Chain A
Amino acid sequence: MQTEKSFKSEIFNIIPLTAREKLFHIKICDAYEREKFTFLPGQFVMLELPGCGEVPISISSSISNKDFIELCIRKVGKVTGLLHRLEPGAIVGIRGPFGTHFPMQKMVGCNILLIAGGLGIVPLRSTIYWANEHRSDYKDITILYGAKEPGQILFDYQFEEWHKIFDLKILTIVQNRAENWEGRVGLITDLFDEVPIDPDNTFAIVCGPPVMFKFVFAHLTNVGISRQRMFLSLERRMHCGMGKCCRCNVGSIFTCLDGPVFDYWTVMNLKEAI
């Protein structure tokens, strides 16, 4: 795709997920460009509302879905606030895909442990679809998912289906106790007691708020997983997605070009990263 040109895309379906998040189904209008558009799990696009602004959003759908992409967007700022007010049929701009991806090929033959906190499940969703489509390549797939409150759990309507069809294990936990919640209460690290990890045969993908990384990686390191087998997606402010505006610069790297996906070893050696 060209660098500065955004492609007209139609939002044709909007699924409200929680009070703050909606899932947008977006189709690039031009059939040729739509066909050309490919991405890998972990990559993101710059989504633009002309006249309002541009935001980096992780792609949340399966890479084999050539018709449209799914973007799960939390209402936090000017652009996302306006996006939440759009109706199906609205036209937005898309540039990308940008960034690095989770190295799914490297993980062939191993267990995959996906650890998500809050909105962190969004980029992991395309990983889950990938793992399903190449199910025989991987051994056990486990998802540990923590949210603040039960009402903030994303994609829970799909969990049952994933569990059955994809043959994977999902454990959820919430931080704040709530009525009608019969599941676990606590921090995401509490779930580790319930998951036996085979360190030599496991890759971990971690996505969530910065505060979560430290504790999760400390545990995974203690268990014995190599730091180069743990991956994470870093969040930073981005204005261009092309390594020029420097807004996402951390130490000597650019999150948009060299990331957002990094292995823990790299991040550990980056000042200011987590």
Chain B
Amino acid sequence: MVNPDSHALVSARAAGAYRASAKALAEEPEEIVRLVKDSGLRGRGGAGFPTGLKWTFLPKNRDATYLCVNADESEPGTFKDRLILEKDPHLLIEGIVIACHAIRCAHAYLYIRGEFCLPYERIRAAAAEAYAAGLLGPNAGGSGQPIDLTIHRGAGAYICGEETALLNSIEGKKGQPRMKPPFPTNVGLFGKPTVINNVETLANLPFIVENGPDAYRAIGTEKSPGTRLMSVSGHIEKPGVYEVAHGVPMRGLIEDLAGGVRGGRKLKALIPGGSSTPVLTAEEAYAVNVDFESVQATGSMLGSGGCIVMDETTDMVWALDKLAHFYAHESCGQCTPCREGSGWIAEIVQKIAAGNGTRKDLEKLESLAAQIVGNTICVFSDALAMPVVSHVTKFRAEFEAHLADRASSSAAP
């Protein structure tokens, strides 16, 4: 049964919240870093980088450290962090306390997506409860150490989910990515060493601290330990967020848990990890498991776990048109290949979708996608190029069927 007050401290306490953070605060920070490294926890924001390893990149001698919590969740198809923020914000705050202790951070900043009005209210209320209960503040959890949490609201920019754009946005600048290196663990927020972790990543910490790395590794696969929150949407009977052990078959997630393709139709395509990850054909999707390595082996990525299901009626040119429009709209404009390329790509896809494209346009689309990859400060261009290439490659016949000159082209030698 769903508890309508699951976000409140009293409910969280009743479910065992803040036991793990109390345990963590009594340990040396190095011990918590070791636990997290041993657990094999990988970041849930998209890249899947080992969390404990990231923490060890912080310089040994440093005067201040910041933790930035990435609650910007703007990747189309992804809505798992929203669920944690709305339904179980104390799980996140407990994870923040554990991470702050581990990396010796006295002040965490949580950057939340501007459109998240209810999640913003909920996390602010939860933070206020945590302060009032002494779980945050100058003597966090009675540990004698200060842990402050400031909640910083974004204002409508997808790019702020990119970690260095997020830092700029907190600093009161346009949310445009920074060149790397230096990496944030060396020069981050306000010029200080900074760790940036996703909401779901931090929400894993209480379990790891309370039950130990072996218990965590007992779930999932060797290289992708633990569970995964998968957001399932699109042409599906029971859309929603499902927590599954890494390694379960995608077919099981789609057909058993999420009720199968809507209306008993056939699966045509599936985007496995948010809109930027290459699309899979039905055959690929049904053969893959939900873990980083399996999805990577298909040439795609598990990314943020945003699984978009498309049935046999879907026009894949129309689908790419939707995605290309998004990326053209959200380019921050800093790098020329992205600023100009994303708009150009969107224009061509729209032209093809409307039946006015030519074979030359299709070639230009592929050429543009190849030219923007890797040529910009952040991976936003790659995030557009990958869907373009995968859609055009895997569903080429559909694109060709939309071309205005298809009749004359097919007659050409």
| A and B interact | no
Tell me the B residues contacting A by CB distance below 8 Å.
none
A residues in contact (CB < 8 Å) with B: none
